[in-house]
Structure 1
Amino acid sequence: MKIGELVGAGRTADVFALDDGRVLRRYRDGDDTTGEVAVMAYLAEHGFPVPAVWPGTAAGELVMQRLSGTTMVEALVNGAITAERAGELLAELLRCLHTIPARLSADPGHRVLHLDFHPENVMLTPQGPVVIDWATAAEGPPGLDSAMAALILAQAALTMPAVSEVARTVLSSLLQHLDGIEEEHLAEARMRRAANPTLSPDEVGKLDEAVALITETAGS
């Protein structure tokens, strides 16, 4: 396996090109990717749009299909998609994901949750949208996933001035196309975000304001 150029980098991992039309995702802290690979394979079996995936040669690696296209964030910047349509599409993908039964949990109300669902983790390919980065995937009530998606957008609106207006519009559209965000799920999402070690102090400090923004937007 010949590792090529760096083609992407996130808060916890780097992505390198491989010479066979695939990419290598390598976590900087060496986290085991076994669970992530299993979740993605399970979702693919149920027809949900995820990249094809294979285990890497080390615990902190996985190999994925290299996708063509742009992230939803890039499409928003270049005008290929409107903020209103982006929010609608996020809601559609969440609803589709939450029709799939949990892989492990025996609770009939549980589903597979992404828990880091935002425009940077949606690739818009010629074949349609594909959801990437399943490192935080878990199982539980689908409302928690929706609340987390809304909270991430609200934090972006409050902490990233360059995209604030767009993030607010995407958030508004997302909330319009969901069945509502329950208070208990929003509280759980806030707690999880506060415990996320990759967030900056400013992002954590804006959590209460972000919750208030969601409540205000949902009620408008």
Structure 2
Amino acid sequence: MTDPIPLASGREADVYALDGERVLRRYRAGGDVAVEARFMAHLHAVGYPVPRVHHADGTDLVMRRLSGPTMLHALLTGGIDVEAAAAVLADLHRRLHAVAPLPDAADGERILHLDLHPDNVVLEPSGPVLIDWHNVRHGAPGLDVAMTALILAQVAVDRDQPMATEAGELMRAYLRAIRGHAVPLVDAAVARRRADPAQSADERALLVPAATLVTAAGE
């Protein structure tokens, strides 16, 4: 077999093309993809738009290769507008939280992605697909909602971000689209984001103004 072809590199993992149908996602800092693969297999089995997992072992996750652009790319190139993108994000969350949890969930808990943002949504011809399930777990839907809003708000309050204005518009449109689904647990999202080792000191400094923006938008 030929060597894998590098496709992308994120904060925690690298993605390689194995062939025309499969990609390998490999985590650089070690760990075990078993939990991630278990949730993804469950979601795929019930028809939620998640890549099919072919193989999971240690730090390696082999999945179906997707063909569409990311939502972020589509926003940058005019392939999708802010209102439509917000509707997709809200729909993905509503559908995810409607899926029955795994047997080890506590009462009232649902499956959470905890990293739903435009760069983790691939716009396939058949519809949007949610990728990067590294943070998946059971919990309160309001935490998932708050995490998405907070991620967008961190970009919106960052003066060095060229997409700051658009991120703020998307955050507000998302909160309008998801209204009535779950109350955003902003304080819990801030605490989780602050404890994330992948967050830089500069990003952590944006959490308080970002949380203020999310709270104001939700009122």
CA contact (8 A) 1:3 1:16 kept: no
Q: CA deviation at 1:102?
A: 1.3
- The residue aligned with 1:182 is 183
Please give the per-residue CA displacement for 1:92-138, whole angstroms capped at 9, x wherever unaligned: 11000000121133434111100111111000010100000001001
1:17 aligns with 2:21: no
Give the Cα–Cα distance (whole angstroms) in 2 for the partners of residues 97 and 176 of structure 1. 18
CA contact (8 A) 1:41 1:52 kept: yes
Please give the per-residue CA displacement for 1:40-67, whole angstroms capped at 9, x wherever unaligned: 00001111000011224x4100101000
Give the 4+ runs in structure 1 shifted more than 2 A.
Answer: 1-4, 104-108, 179-183
Give unmatched runs, 5+ long, in structure 2: none
Give the Cα–Cα distance (whole angstroms) in 2 for the partners of residues 23 and 158 of structure 1. 34
- Give the match's secondary structure for 2:54: strand
Could you state the TM-score of these two structures normalised by the residue count of structure 2? 0.94
- The residue aligned with 2:68 is 69
Please give the per-residue CA displacement for 1:1-51, whole angstroms capped at 9, x wherever unaligned: 543221111100000010252000000012100111111000011110000
- The residue aligned with 2:203 is 203
- Please provide the CA RMSD for this pair: 1.5
Q: May I ask how many residue pairs the two structures share in their alignment? A: 217
Give unmatched runs, 5+ long, in structure 1: none
CA contact (8 A) 2:105 2:138 kept: no
- The residue aligned with 2:34 is 34
Q: CA deviation at 1:161?
A: 1.8
Q: 1:106 to 1:31 in 2, by over 3 A?
A: closer
1:107 aligns with 2:102: no
Could you state the TM-score of these two structures normalised by the residue count of structure 1? 0.94
- Give the match's secondary structure for 2:44: helix
Q: Give the counterpart letter for 2:61 in structure 1.
A: L
Please give the per-residue CA displacement for 1:148-196, whole angstroms capped at 9, x wherever unaligned: 111111011123521101111110110001136636x211110000000
